[in-house]
Amino acid sequence: MSDWSPPTLSRGQLAGIVVTLLAAAAYSLVIVQQLLLVVVPAAALLAVYLTWRFIVAVEAIADALQRIADHKTEE
Protein backbone atom coordinates (compact mmCIF):
# COMPACT_ATOMS: atom_id res chain seq x y z
CA MET A 1 0.00 0.00 0.00
CA SER A 2 1.23 3.47 -0.85
CA ASP A 3 1.79 6.17 1.73
CA TRP A 4 0.02 8.68 -0.54
CA SER A 5 -2.91 10.38 1.06
CA PRO A 6 -5.15 13.05 -0.47
CA PRO A 7 -5.10 16.46 1.18
CA THR A 8 -7.90 17.07 3.63
CA LEU A 9 -9.38 20.14 5.24
CA SER A 10 -8.07 20.97 8.68
CA ARG A 11 -10.48 21.27 11.59
CA GLY A 12 -9.96 25.04 11.61
CA GLN A 13 -10.83 25.36 7.92
CA LEU A 14 -13.89 23.16 8.32
CA ALA A 15 -15.00 25.11 11.39
CA GLY A 16 -14.56 28.37 9.48
CA ILE A 17 -16.69 27.12 6.61
CA VAL A 18 -19.42 25.89 8.97
CA VAL A 19 -19.45 29.15 10.95
CA THR A 20 -19.60 31.18 7.74
CA LEU A 21 -22.50 29.11 6.39
CA LEU A 22 -24.36 29.36 9.70
CA ALA A 23 -23.85 33.13 9.80
CA ALA A 24 -25.06 33.41 6.20
CA ALA A 25 -28.09 31.25 7.06
CA ALA A 26 -28.92 33.39 10.08
CA TYR A 27 -28.55 36.57 8.02
CA SER A 28 -30.67 35.26 5.16
CA LEU A 29 -33.46 33.99 7.41
CA VAL A 30 -33.59 36.72 10.05
CA ILE A 31 -32.59 39.90 8.21
CA VAL A 32 -33.45 39.33 4.53
CA GLN A 33 -36.06 36.58 5.05
CA GLN A 34 -35.06 34.70 1.89
CA LEU A 35 -33.94 31.11 2.29
CA LEU A 36 -32.43 30.86 -1.20
CA LEU A 37 -29.86 33.47 -0.25
CA VAL A 38 -28.01 30.76 1.70
CA VAL A 39 -29.09 27.66 -0.23
CA VAL A 40 -27.50 28.74 -3.51
CA PRO A 41 -24.01 29.50 -2.08
CA ALA A 42 -24.13 26.33 0.05
CA ALA A 43 -25.03 24.25 -3.02
CA ALA A 44 -22.25 25.93 -5.01
CA LEU A 45 -19.76 25.21 -2.22
CA LEU A 46 -20.90 21.59 -2.11
CA ALA A 47 -20.54 21.28 -5.90
CA VAL A 48 -16.99 22.68 -5.77
CA TYR A 49 -16.07 20.31 -2.94
CA LEU A 50 -17.48 17.26 -4.74
CA THR A 51 -15.70 18.24 -7.95
CA TRP A 52 -12.43 18.59 -6.02
CA ARG A 53 -12.90 15.16 -4.41
CA PHE A 54 -13.66 13.65 -7.85
CA ILE A 55 -10.44 15.09 -9.27
CA VAL A 56 -8.46 13.76 -6.29
CA ALA A 57 -10.01 10.30 -6.80
CA VAL A 58 -9.16 10.31 -10.52
CA GLU A 59 -5.57 11.33 -9.70
CA ALA A 60 -5.32 8.48 -7.19
CA ILE A 61 -6.62 6.00 -9.77
CA ALA A 62 -4.16 7.30 -12.37
CA ASP A 63 -1.32 7.04 -9.85
CA ALA A 64 -2.28 3.46 -8.99
CA LEU A 65 -2.47 2.50 -12.67
CA GLN A 66 0.94 4.06 -13.27
CA ARG A 67 2.41 2.04 -10.40
CA ILE A 68 0.86 -1.14 -11.82
CA ALA A 69 2.30 -0.35 -15.26
CA ASP A 70 5.74 0.35 -13.77
CA HIS A 71 5.60 -2.92 -11.84
CA LYS A 72 4.64 -4.90 -14.98
CA THR A 73 7.47 -3.36 -17.03
CA GLU A 74 10.00 -4.33 -14.34
CA GLU A 75 9.04 -8.00 -14.69
How far from 73 is each of 4, 9, 25, 47, 58, CA to CA, in Å? Answer: 22, 36, 55, 39, 22
The string of pLDDT tens digits covering residues 8-38 is 778 998 899 889 989 988 998 898 888 888 8
Q: What is the mean pLDDT of residues 50-71?
A: 92
Q: Which pLDDT belongs to residue 3?
A: 60
Q: What is the mean pLDDT of residues 68-72?
A: 93
Query: 19 vs 2, which has greater pLDDT?
Result: 19
Query: 46 vs 2, which has greater pLDDT?
Result: 46
pTM of the model: 0.68
Of the candidates 5, 2, 7, 41, the residue with the CA atom closest to the CA atom of residue 24: 41
Query: Rg for the chain (alpha carbons), in Å?
Result: 20
Contact 67, 2 (CB under 8 A): yes
Extents of the domains making up the chain: 11-74
